[in-house]
A and B are shown apart, each in its own frame.
Chain A
Amino acid sequence: MFIRLVYESFRRQKRRKVLAGAAIALGVTVATAMIAVATDIGDKINRELRTIGANLVVTPQEDTLDVEIGGVNWKPPTDGAFLSEAELPKIKGIFWHNNITGFAPMLPVTVSLENGGTKQDVTLVGTYFAKELSYGNEKFVTGVRNTHPWWKVEGAWPDDNSGDILIGERLASRLGEKAGNTLTLSGRQLHVDGVLSTGGAEDDQIVAPLGLAQEILGRPGVVRRVYVSALTKPEDAFGRRDPKSMSGAVYDRWYCTPYPQAIALQLTEAMSHSHAEQIRQVSQNEGAVLTRIEGLIFLITLAALFASALAVSAAMATAIFERRAEVGLMKALGAGKFAVASVFFAEAALLALLGGVIGFGVGSLLAHQIGQSIFNSQISISPVLFPVILAIAVIVTFAGSAMAIRRAVAMDPVFALRGEL
């Protein structure tokens, strides 16, 4: 009888059930989409923040001091220690290798530039533009185009294996050079592929493939420092603790958390005679911005959940209120409060499950769409979310119906049947 009541209710009142189900589906859609966006927003914004530049730098352990003002080096270029270029792919072999979005080696050398009979010293920086490297079976492309995305080139980027160069914008305008010209640097004729604009010291320098810089310096296979761009977790009190003072298990937890310090330690371990450090300007502020945006989206997700809960309960209340004549009839025929309420709750649960499944599907699509259109990347939805969302849908639908059901069962059947309520 109970099952028949519920079944008939769905069969006869298709329009109303569809409306209530649609309200639940909509509410669940919004909730799913917002929860999915909120759980993934940290990673997405973290990737966007990487456009501000590398957050870690690896230097030789025994390095002498940098004596550099405004991009001009004041110490002999052969001075000091170097890192080995051959070890660079090892960066992709550390524990958090998936968090390394890219790295770029730098090797500054001083060259003499001959221009119309006059000679002047300029700095030439050797680096990777978009170099293909491999670690084990994994192939990846890395270089300044990925770690320094604000570098703009008018003309073309040189090939990493060529001897072509980029000339800084201010240097170019001082010399009257442009892309396509040939420069004479320390006796070499070099082709200028493009004019580089960075807003930094590189505007007064020449940027070349790493191989060329090594050749000019006469030290094959060396780099001065490596900029590493990594996705990190905002530093907290635990992250700031000194790893040397930690016991085994605590140290493991620290090591396996992508704090900037932990990744720096792993980089130091990966490259011999090196010292990795966070670039505080980038890494410290990153944490602050990330925390703010995550917090904001979290609070907004709460608002979304609240709004969708309200929409669901409003729809359920309306649906039940419209059926007071039916309640009156059931009560007049001798149904108890419990029997009436259980029919309604069973219907609500069915609607919630149906609406929840549809809403979860549509919500996942919506989250996917948001990810594609705003961040050009996938928003991953963990399958754990599905039962959670369904449970929320059922609870909210129950809570939303409870008031209306209580009023319905408390009704005097006489008035209900005469339509006076």
Chain B
Amino acid sequence: MSHQARDLAASRAHAPHTSMFVRMLLRAAVLRRGRAASALFAMVVAAAVATAMLNLYVDVQAKLQREFRNYGANIIVVGKNGASLPAEALARVDSVLAGRGVAASFGLIVARTSDGQPIVVAGTDFERVKQLNRWWSVSLWPSTSENPHFSQNQGEVGHPSLVGVRALPLVSPKGQDFDLAFQGKMLRVSPSGTVQTGAAEDSRIYLSLSDFVSWTGVQPFTIQVAASGSPSEITGVMNQLAQALPSADVRPVRQIMEGEARVLGKTRATLLAAAALIILTAALCVLSTLMGWVFDRRRDFAIMKALGASERLLNGFFAAEAAALGATGAVIGFLFGIGIAAWIGRVNFQATVVPRFSVLPVVLVGSVVVTLLSAILPISLLRRVQPAVILRGE
């Protein structure tokens, strides 16, 4: 026996029992690299797919809710019994929203054109409407900033406005400036652009809110609010709005809210069904690969048993091996899965899917359970067989 070998034997004699256990685990992985790698690969893929699906399932609601905000307002604030809202109402709405949505106030009156036709004129903040009602097809938004002293030039240059496509031929067939009258006060308006929506907006004229108020003296009496978030968050916003504005009625736009809830619910249910199918397939794939792997190692099993390993030790060994494989696969797979979810988010929603670390424990536990299951099944089959039979290759 060489010097080195004696040293090795000595170190092994003194080594605690556990190091043998760990060595067996490591050697099993190193010696049968190919099989171990394919089992780990299956595990990683399964964990990655499961992570991506769960991540998307959690995130898709937020992503689609954002899409639904393009439908415009889901809450409407109006003065009680047709009264105007207080002047600072919009500021209060903004402070309640705190960036979680867009709001725009509207004032509406019926004015007369120069030939006495009644027409609805609205005042609003164009910048906000642009954000709130993205479906408006506008030829050119009036610029509100280019001439801050507009109201002093009254009568000389028209006030910029958006004219509905149905109103345009009536008030300004050639795109020229025109006059509007309201309670004896005249206003010269110049059509900066047209708006087309297919609804009531087409027969209205939109002025900037400052022009509207200084001309009519009427304060806006409607605020349209597009609040983002889940149904419970939106209900919360509505309650806060009602508290902040006791003189106003806060109403949900049921049409939008209910449609949104339905579509989201169905999409999530479809996604859940797909996720269940895919995760089941992936789990079965892991199960079959791992069972093959463990079954292949029936010789190791038989030798250990022949050398006098107890039933408990054997079970523990294979269970530990499976759990280690499951945990490693789950962690690597989790990282890949987040990558996949982020990619899908970028490709489909043009937005990042936030990694949900709350998914990790679920994936981890699931992976370990599947691997344990796929180790225990073949072991319990092998336990009944005499080691000699296995070693003889029968």
The chain A residues found within 8 Å of chain B, CB to CB, are 19, 23, 26-27, 30, 33-34, 37, 41, 44-45, 48-49, 51-53, 56-57, 63-70, 74-75, 148-150, 197-200, 277-285, 288-289, 292-293, 295-297, 299-301, 303-304, 306-308, 310-311, 314-315, 317-318, 321-322, 366, 370, 373-375, 419
- Selecting from B22-30, B154-162, B269-277, B361-369, the interface stretch reads B269-277
- From A34, which residue of chain B is reached at the shortest CB distance? B274
18 residue pairs from A and B, CB less than 8 Å apart: A23-B288, A26-B281, A37-B273, A45-B263, A51-B262, A56-B198, A66-B166, A280-B197, A281-B135, A281-B198, A283-B198, A285-B67, A285-B70, A296-B60, A296-B349, A311-B288, A314-B289, A322-B292
Complex interface: chain B residues within 8 A of A310 (CB): 42, 45, 282, 285
B253-272 CB contact bits vs A (8 Å, 1 = yes)? 11110111011001101110
Choose one: B72, B197, B200; the contact of A68 (CB below 8 Å).
B200
Whether A281 and B71, one on each chain, are in contact in the complex, defined by CB atoms closer than 8 angstroms, is: yes
Residue among A45, A69, A148, A370 with max Cβ neighbours from chain B (10 Å):
A69
- Selecting from B186-194, B315-323, B340-348, the interface stretch reads B340-348
Could you tell me the distance between the alpha carbons of A19 and B56 in the complex, rounded to whole angstroms? Answer: 32
Residue among A30, A68, A293, A373 with max Cβ neighbours from chain B (10 Å):
A293
Complex interface: chain B residues within 8 A of A45 (CB): 263, 266-267
Residue among A279, A285, A307, A375 with max Cβ neighbours from chain B (10 Å):
A307
Whether B281 and A281, one on each chain, are in contact in the complex, defined by CB atoms closer than 8 angstroms, is: no
Whether B347 and A419, one on each chain, are in contact in the complex, defined by CB atoms closer than 8 angstroms, is: no
Whether B60 and A30, one on each chain, are in contact in the complex, defined by CB atoms closer than 8 angstroms, is: no
Could you tell me the distance between the alpha carbons of A303 and B167 in the complex, rounded to whole angstroms? Answer: 52
- From A301, which residue of chain B is reached at the shortest CB distance? B274
Is B117 interfacial (CB-CB < 8 Å)? yes
Is B141 interfacial (CB-CB < 8 Å)? no
Complex interface: chain B residues within 8 A of A44 (CB): 266
Choose one: A64, A67, A150; the contact of B110 (CB below 8 Å).
A67
Whether B49 and A307, one on each chain, are in contact in the complex, defined by CB atoms closer than 8 angstroms, is: yes
- From B122, which residue of chain A is reached at the shortest CB distance? A69
Whether A314 and B42, one on each chain, are in contact in the complex, defined by CB atoms closer than 8 angstroms, is: yes
Could you tell me the distance between the alpha carbons of A181 and B253 in the complex, rounded to whole angstroms? Answer: 28
Is B332 interfacial (CB-CB < 8 Å)? no
Whether A419 and B393, one on each chain, are in contact in the complex, defined by CB atoms closer than 8 angstroms, is: yes
Q: Provided the pairs A51-B262, A69-B108, A293-B267 are in contact, do residues A311 and B198 lie with their beta carbons within 8 angstroms?
A: no
Choose one: B38, B137, B281; the contact of A311 (CB below 8 Å).
B281
Is B324 interfacial (CB-CB < 8 Å)? no
Whether A321 and B281, one on each chain, are in contact in the complex, defined by CB atoms closer than 8 angstroms, is: no
Whether A57 and B198, one on each chain, are in contact in the complex, defined by CB atoms closer than 8 angstroms, is: yes
Whether A292 and B67, one on each chain, are in contact in the complex, defined by CB atoms closer than 8 angstroms, is: yes
The chain B residues found within 8 Å of chain A, CB to CB, are 38, 42, 45-46, 49, 52-53, 56, 60, 63-64, 67-68, 70-72, 78, 82, 108-110, 117-120, 133-137, 166-167, 170, 196-200, 203, 222, 251-256, 258-260, 262-263, 266-267, 269-271, 273-275, 277-278, 280-282, 284-285, 288-289, 291-292, 295-296, 340, 344, 347-349, 393
Choose one: B42, B135, B136, B253; the contact of A199 (CB below 8 Å).
B253
Complex interface: chain A residues within 8 A of B344 (CB): 296, 299
Could you tell me the distance between the alpha carbons of A370 and B289 in the complex, rounded to whole angstroms? Answer: 29
Whether A281 and B262, one on each chain, are in contact in the complex, defined by CB atoms closer than 8 angstroms, is: no
Whether A370 and B270, one on each chain, are in contact in the complex, defined by CB atoms closer than 8 angstroms, is: yes
- From B81, which residue of chain A is reached at the shortest CB distance? A174
Whether B197 and A281, one on each chain, are in contact in the complex, defined by CB atoms closer than 8 angstroms, is: yes
Could you tell me the distance between the alpha carbons of A64 and B202 in the complex, rounded to whole angstroms? Answer: 12
Could you tell me the distance between the alpha carbons of A408 and B269 in the complex, rounded to whole angstroms? Answer: 44
B322 to chain A, nearest CB (A): 16
Known: A68-B120, A279-B197, A281-B133. 4 other contacts (CB 8 A): A23-B288, A49-B259, A65-B120, A314-B285
Whether B348 and A65, one on each chain, are in contact in the complex, defined by CB atoms closer than 8 angstroms, is: no
- From A300, which residue of chain B is reached at the shortest CB distance? B274
- From B169, which residue of chain A is reached at the shortest CB distance? A65
Whether A74 and B284, one on each chain, are in contact in the complex, defined by CB atoms closer than 8 angstroms, is: no
Residue among A56, A277, A306, A311 with max Cβ neighbours from chain B (10 Å):
A311
Whether A41 and B270, one on each chain, are in contact in the complex, defined by CB atoms closer than 8 angstroms, is: yes
Could you tell me the distance between the alpha carbons of A314 and B280 in the complex, rounded to whole angstroms? Answer: 15
Complex interface: chain B residues within 8 A of A277 (CB): 198
Complex interface: chain A residues within 8 A of B253 (CB): 199-200
Whether A289 and B64, one on each chain, are in contact in the complex, defined by CB atoms closer than 8 angstroms, is: yes
Complex interface: chain A residues within 8 A of B137 (CB): 280
Complex interface: chain B residues within 8 A of A311 (CB): 281-282, 284-285, 288
Complex interface: chain A residues within 8 A of B60 (CB): 296
Q: Provided the pairs A281-B197, A299-B347, A311-B285 are in contact, do residues A52 and B63 lie with their beta carbons within 8 angstroms?
A: no
Complex interface: chain A residues within 8 A of B118 (CB): 65, 67, 74-75
Q: Provided the pairs A37-B270, A65-B170, A307-B285 are in contact, do residues A280 and B49 lie with their beta carbons within 8 angstroms?
A: no
Could you tell me the distance between the alpha carbons of A356 and B352 in the complex, rounded to whole angstroms? Answer: 37
Whether B82 and A70, one on each chain, are in contact in the complex, defined by CB atoms closer than 8 angstroms, is: yes
Complex interface: chain A residues within 8 A of B260 (CB): 52
Could you tell me the distance between the alpha carbons of A149 and B68 in the complex, rounded to whole angstroms? Answer: 18
Residue among B49, B266, B285 with max Cβ neighbours from chain A (10 Å):
B285
B51 to chain A, nearest CB (A): 11
Could you tell me the distance between the alpha carbons of A199 and B280 in the complex, rounded to whole angstroms? Answer: 44
Choose one: A150, A282, A308; the contact of B258 (CB below 8 Å).
A150
Complex interface: chain B residues within 8 A of A51 (CB): 258-259, 262-263
Whether A66 and B288, one on each chain, are in contact in the complex, defined by CB atoms closer than 8 angstroms, is: no
Complex interface: chain A residues within 8 A of B135 (CB): 280-281, 284-285
Whether B67 and A289, one on each chain, are in contact in the complex, defined by CB atoms closer than 8 angstroms, is: yes
- From B73, which residue of chain A is reached at the shortest CB distance? A281
Complex interface: chain B residues within 8 A of A65 (CB): 117-120, 166-167, 170, 203
Whether B200 and A297, one on each chain, are in contact in the complex, defined by CB atoms closer than 8 angstroms, is: no
Whether B274 and A37, one on each chain, are in contact in the complex, defined by CB atoms closer than 8 angstroms, is: yes
Whether B255 and A200, one on each chain, are in contact in the complex, defined by CB atoms closer than 8 angstroms, is: yes
Could you tell me the distance between the alpha carbons of A277 and B119 in the complex, rounded to whole angstroms? Answer: 21
Choose one: B42, B63, B256, B295; the contact of A292 (CB below 8 Å).
B63
Q: Provided the pairs A65-B170, A67-B110 are in contact, do residues A33 and B277 lie with their beta carbons within 8 angstroms?
A: yes
Residue among B45, B117, B284, B296 with max Cβ neighbours from chain A (10 Å):
B284
Whether B270 and A66, one on each chain, are in contact in the complex, defined by CB atoms closer than 8 angstroms, is: no
Complex interface: chain A residues within 8 A of B56 (CB): 296, 300
- From A295, which residue of chain B is reached at the shortest CB distance? B348
Choose one: B67, B82, B136, B292; the contact of A280 (CB below 8 Å).
B136
Choose one: A23, A63, A292, A419; the contact of B64 (CB below 8 Å).
A292
Could you tell me the distance between the alpha carbons of A306 and B134 in the complex, rounded to whole angstroms? Answer: 38
Whether B266 and A199, one on each chain, are in contact in the complex, defined by CB atoms closer than 8 angstroms, is: no
Could you tell me the distance between the alpha carbons of A344 and B117 in the complex, rounded to whole angstroms? Answer: 86
- From A46, which residue of chain B is reached at the shortest CB distance? B263
Residue among A65, A149, A295, A303 with max Cβ neighbours from chain B (10 Å):
A65
A402 to chain B, nearest CB (A): 14
Whether B271 and A279, one on each chain, are in contact in the complex, defined by CB atoms closer than 8 angstroms, is: no
- From A312, which residue of chain B is reached at the shortest CB distance? B285
Whether B259 and A300, one on each chain, are in contact in the complex, defined by CB atoms closer than 8 angstroms, is: no
Choose one: B197, B256, B281; the contact of A307 (CB below 8 Å).
B281
Could you tell me the distance between the alpha carbons of A66 and B273 in the complex, rounded to whole angstroms? Answer: 47
A34 to chain B, nearest CB (A): 6
